[in-house]
Amino acid sequence: MRALPVLQLFFLATLAATTHGSFELDIADQIIHLLRPKTRSGDSHVDDNVSCLSWRLGVETHNIIDWTTVPAACEGYAGDYLLGHQYRKDSEVVAHEAYLYAESLNLTDDGNNLWIFDIDETSLSNLPYFADHGFGVEVLNTTSYGAWMLEGIAPALPESLKLYKKLLALGIKVAFLTGRGESIRNVTETNLMNAGYDSWEKLILKDSSYSGDTAVMYKSSERKKLEGSGYKIIGNIGDQWSDLLGTNVGNRTFKLPNPMYYAS
């Protein structure tokens, strides 16, 4: 059996020794994809004036919008971030704050309290695919990405799975709202369950009638339907700003990091 690189061994040992209060996870749950040795350390640059770290900050704060791909000079930086420690730490902070918020609420146990989860790069992680094929939105528009999705083997983002279980324990129901097409409902259901999401109130996939709408319009419309049927959206978590903007977004929203692609 091939020995693990030193970086991987160090990463696993660090995880085993580190605790994060109520968000401590088993080592097996911590790993989305085996780490690659980093190709560079520190920051890298798009040009002499714009750093990749600053570019990622602009993306996450929604100051940089409508971008079509990771800048070529920053693809290695994006890969290092996503396969390294910081992506997981950033995701953990978001999920932990979401749980603290939910735990603080004085909710009426009427069965109508609902939390919205996006799926890709929120509930499920496509990082194994991107690690093998590159980082950037153009990778999504390929036959290989469609084939990967149909395999239904995307692992859970561990921090989101932990949040999901904590919310259920608080009596909050979960609805998955995704831009995935209705045609892959069975694959999506099976993938979610195999990844650990074993129950939900609603699983909303995109019908072909929404093909001309933006993600903001589509998700706003579906959230409006949920509230119209009596649900109270108390929380909403996603990796894209289009998951969290528009109407009927819920009492509070939480943005997970994603410097791989942008969906409007």
Q: What are phi and psi of 198, to 5 degrees?
A: -95, 0
In a domain, residue 244? The reply is: yes
Give the domain range for residue 209.
90-255
**How many angstroms separate the CA atoms of 202 and 223, rounded?**
11
The CATH number linked to 250 is 3.40.50.1000
pLDDT tens digit sequence for 156-191: 999 999 999 999 999 999 999 999 999 999 999 999
- Asked whether residue 20 is assigned to any structural domain, the reply reads no
Does residue 183 sit within a domain? yes
Q: Is residue 24 part of a domain?
A: no
Query: How many CB atoms neighbour CB 44 within 10 A?
Result: 19
Classified as helix, coil or strand, 39 is coil
Hey, how many other C-beta atoms are within 10 angstroms of the C-beta on 45? 16
* Residue 15, domain member (yes or no): no
Alpha-carbon distance 128 to 189, whole Å?
19
Q: How far apart are CA 93 and CA 200, in angstroms?
A: 24
pLDDT value for 121: 96
Q: Is residue 46 part of a domain?
A: no
Q: Which pLDDT value is given to residue 43?
A: 57
Which residues are registered as beta bridge partners of 208? none
**Residue 61 corresponds to which amino acid?**
T
Domain tally, the chain: 1
Is 75 a member of any domain?
A: no
Tokens of 180: 């995935």
Q: Give tens-digit pLDDT for 212-256.
A: 789 999 999 999 999 999 999 999 999 999 999 999 999 999 999
Q: Tell me if 4 is assigned to some domain.
A: no
